[in-house]
Structure 1
């Protein structure tokens, strides 16, 4: 993975460089003392991971993230925990409190590696019946991409069509609890077999569709794929 460091303290820069060199799976593209210096590199090269301090000159790390429409994965490195909750609104994978050990660094980087290619892609082979109006339709769970709540009904999104159901999203969540469906938003239940990657607050499915990740569900979703 290509990575960059944005850190204004030289001792912290040296530690990060040493850890990056030791881990072996990272390629350091550049080191910068403030966020503005890194903009050209982020915009012109493929950067997979950003090690970002929060307290920086000119522009804070959090404010810098607000300027990036599509940021790389981010691991925050800071001596302050005050911004942990706010940071998860962005593409932040982990929050390293200084001073952190090499073992803690490796754990954070491993989260990024696990999210680049989501595992567990086996297909479901169970069929279910859904009530649509006065009819009961048989569908295969393997064809379901996600279920979306919409007012008084839910939308069952399949490979090439969608059906309306009078059941609530909560009912679907309970019914599919033993299957590979996961609540990722107050309005979405997703088939995890269809997930290809997570980027920021978006889930990318293998049909090129995206669905949002709710703030309350993001940490649990990341933990599921980073253990």
Structure 2
């Protein structure tokens, strides 16, 4: 996990840095002594965790938390315990009181890992790897228009190319659950973002007209959520 440290006190910053360097799953990608530098860094760089001091000149840690649109996991650090209640109002992961001991540091990091795991489980994949033409190919889901059945294989259709993959339609359907793909026929799975129009029981796509199976119509219409 990539992380940054933001603290205007060099001694406190060094303690957190030592903890980070002693933790194999953490990679320190930035170290800042004021929040403005950190803010400018975070505008252009994505990190997983920020260890952030509350009391800093010009822009406090709380100000920084409110200023970043795409927040990393925030662990606030301060010498003042009375900030704790206010800190948790900003949906931070944890609140550490200086001097930070390594066991307490690791407890906070465990909370970060739990949060990231939950996020990862919820996030749908945006690409898949398939074996085609005796090689492993990475496909971006939005490049796929539709998938059609071919005996013990499926054909994955993109605008530029077709990929013949040893798989079943049921296997592809399960693999693409929680994405914009839906099965509309025993022989077809479509990317709903690539549909031009729907006429009667037919889906019109740039490359092909695809029939809608009667048993798939209801779930397909629910997925579309049309007005």
TM-score, scaled to structure 2? 0.51
Once the two structures are superposed, what CA deviation does each residue of 1:138-186 show, in whole Å capped at 9, x if it has no partner? Answer: xxxxxxxxxxxxxxxxxxxxx9xxxxxxxxxxxxxxxxxxxxxxxxxxx
Q: Is 1:100 aligned to 2:100, yes or no? A: yes
Return the offset for 1:4: 0.5
Match of 1:31 in 2: 31
Return the offset for 1:42: 0.9
* Greater Rg over alpha carbons, structure: 2
Match of 2:22 in 1: 22
Match of 1:60 in 2: 60
Other structure's SS at 1:116 match: helix
Once the two structures are superposed, what CA deviation does each residue of 1:82-129 show, in whole Å capped at 9, x if it has no partner? Answer: 22112122241000001121000011011101111139x8xxxxxxxx
CA distance in 2, matches of 1:72, 1:22: 21
Return the offset for 1:49: 0.5
Other structure's SS at 1:99 match: coil
Return the offset for 1:55: 0.6
Relative contact order (C-alpha < 8 Å, sep 6+): which is higher? 1
CA contact (8 A) 2:39 2:68 kept: no
CA contact (8 A) 1:71 1:91 kept: no
Return the offset for 1:50: 0.5
CA contact (8 A) 2:4 2:47 kept: yes
Match of 2:10 in 1: 10
Return the offset for 1:40: 2.4
CA distance in 2, matches of 1:100, 1:18: 11
List runs of 5+ in structure 2 lacking aligned partners. 122-177, 179-222
Match of 2:74 in 1: 74
Match of 1:182 in 2: none
Other structure's SS at 1:8 match: coil
Give the count of matched residue pairs.
122
Q: How large is the RMSD of aligned CA atoms in angstroms?
A: 2.0
TM-score, scaled to structure 1? 0.51
List runs of 5+ in structure 1 lacking aligned partners. 122-158, 160-206, 208-227
